[in-house]
Amino acid sequence: MEMKVIAHIKSDFPTKFGIPHQSGRIQELKADIIFEPEYRNQEAFRGLEEYTHIWLIWEFSQAVRKEWSPTVRPPRLGGNVRKGVFATRSPFRPNPIGLSSVKLEGVEFTEKDGPVLHVSGADLMDGTPIYDVKPYLAYVDSHPEAAGGFTDRIQDHKLEVEFPAEYLEKIPVEKREALLAVLADDPRPGYQQDPERKYGMSFGRWDVHFKVDGEKLKVLDINTFTD
């Protein structure tokens, strides 16, 4: 079966490190979906603006492997516990397919790129190929009573972020809220807890360096990437 890439996402994550663990966790994150020329027919988008949320079906393009393992080690369990691959959302799957629910902020028809979807809450790396877009239907897609497996036993905590003013001023105002939310969500893998370790995370045009000690994340420096 041939799968056709219909679009790519434009987000603030040039690398995998720092991407939210799931879609919808950080609504402050904004992204655009840019379609391939073949799929820029406005008729294909008629009525999409009536929905508030959509599903994205996409490829784990940085996790494509020839072989697959029946078990994986979820980072949220510290990387030491194995679970069945079909009981997780690991990117290392027989078919590297991802599924994300995002908020549709708007549909814009542009002269350069044709129809562009503005979304929030996406957990995709910049340039990720997208195979399909489908409306999210709350009356069948939402199950508040559903059990969440091992994720129900993981405390969902937020870090206290210490962001010195001289560094925060390097980030445009419209990007600050999203970056602060990403840092508070703890971008580290679950098995890395060394308070002396320095981390670097790319966000848009910036390289953010930080340390985490207990429940506090401190930004150490910010560099701007040059073109």
Question: CATH 3.30.2310.20 spans which residues of the chain?
Answer: 157-224
pTM score: 0.90
Confidence at residue 35, expressed as pLDDT on a 0 to 100 scale: 98
The architecture that CATH gives domain 7-141 is: Beta Barrel (2.40)
Give the Cα separation of 187 and 171 in Å (integer): 18
75 contacts 189 by C-beta, under 8 angstroms: yes
Which residues pair with residue 212 across a beta bridge? 217
Classify strands 129-135 and 71-72 as parallel, antiparallel or unpaired: unpaired
**Counting beta carbons within 10 angstroms of the beta carbon of residue 214, is it exposed (0 to 12), middle (13 to 18) or buried (19 or more)?**
exposed
Cα angle at 190 between 84 and 55, to 5 degrees? 60
Q: What is the mean pLDDT of each run of 10 residues along the chain (227 residues)?
A: 94 93 93 98 97 97 81 79 90 91 97 97 96 97 90 78 96 96 90 88 96 96 83
**Counting beta carbons within 10 angstroms of the beta carbon of residue 118, is it exposed (0 to 12), middle (13 to 18) or buried (19 or more)?**
middle
Confidence at residue 227, expressed as pLDDT on a 0 to 100 scale: 60
Confidence at residue 75, expressed as pLDDT on a 0 to 100 scale: 75
CATH superfamily, region 157-224: RelE-like (3.30.2310.20)
Question: CATH 2.40.30.70 spans which residues of the chain?
Answer: 7-141
